[in-house]
Amino acid sequence: MTPTELFANMPADLATEILEEVYQNNKPLNRDLLARLAQVKKMRPVAIQRMPRTERYPEIINILKNPLSAAMAFQSISSWLITKQEPMLVDFLGHLGIPHDGHGCCDDFPENPPSRETLKSAVDFLLTKYPQPHVAVYLHAFNNMPDTCWDTLETLLADDARLKFSP
């Protein structure tokens, strides 16, 4: 799933959690999201800033569902993952035996992806330790990066009902 598809399918409370993290910890991205919302609504940015976050988040989520907003959707999800979900990132890469910076970020992924069994074991481990929607967002976002578009993980994401969002 692309980042925009993730925003279209994830639970609204999780999308709101992601936007709240951006608001709290990523001011430049938050300004970009508010500017985009102002442009879409044909309002002045200052008027958007005065809106309660509970009113503007659903509108921003709708913008992030649009394929034209793929970069902002990816940045929002990435910001949330790196800031709030670091232990899950560390656990996943550690379970796969992929060297990382200790914070769940990696510059060099292996040429050959881990085996299906190894990936399934890592997924099972994450699902025992972290909320299902968080794991699903992370794994879909992870596999959407250019360096990690692994067919084996794509198959797991498509086949494992635990990695899907409820309608």
- Quick one: angle between helices 86-96 and 132-143, nearest 10? 60
Instruction: Give the confidence band of 24 by pLDDT, cuts at 50, 70, 90.
Output: very high
Q: Which two tokens stand for residue 77?
A: 């999800």
Provide the pLDDT for residue 16. 97
More confident residue, 13 or 112: 13
CA–centroid distance for 124 within its chain: 19
HSE of 34, CA atoms in CB hemisphere, 13 A: 20
Average per-residue pLDDT for the chain: 91
Q: Which two tokens stand for residue 65?
A: 């569902």
Residue 142 and residue 136: Cα distance in Å, rounded? 10
The stretch 44-54 carries a mean pLDDT of 91
Residue 44 and residue 140: Cα distance in Å, rounded? 35
Residue 100 and residue 107: Cα distance in Å, rounded? 7
Residue 36 has pLDDT above 80, yes or no: yes
DSSP letter (8 states) at residue 134 = H
Residue 100 has pLDDT above 80, yes or no: no
Instruction: Give the confidence band of 167 by pLDDT, cuts at 50, 70, 90.
Output: low
Q: Is residue 45 exposed (0-12), middle (13-18) or buried (19+ Cβ within 10 Å)? A: middle
Residue 165 has pLDDT above 90, yes or no: no
Residue 118 and residue 124: Cα distance in Å, rounded? 10
Residue 97 and residue 100: Cα distance in Å, rounded? 9
Residue 24 and residue 18: Cα distance in Å, rounded? 10
DSSP letter (8 states) at residue 42 = T
- Quick one: angle between helices 70-84 and 132-143, nearest 10? 130
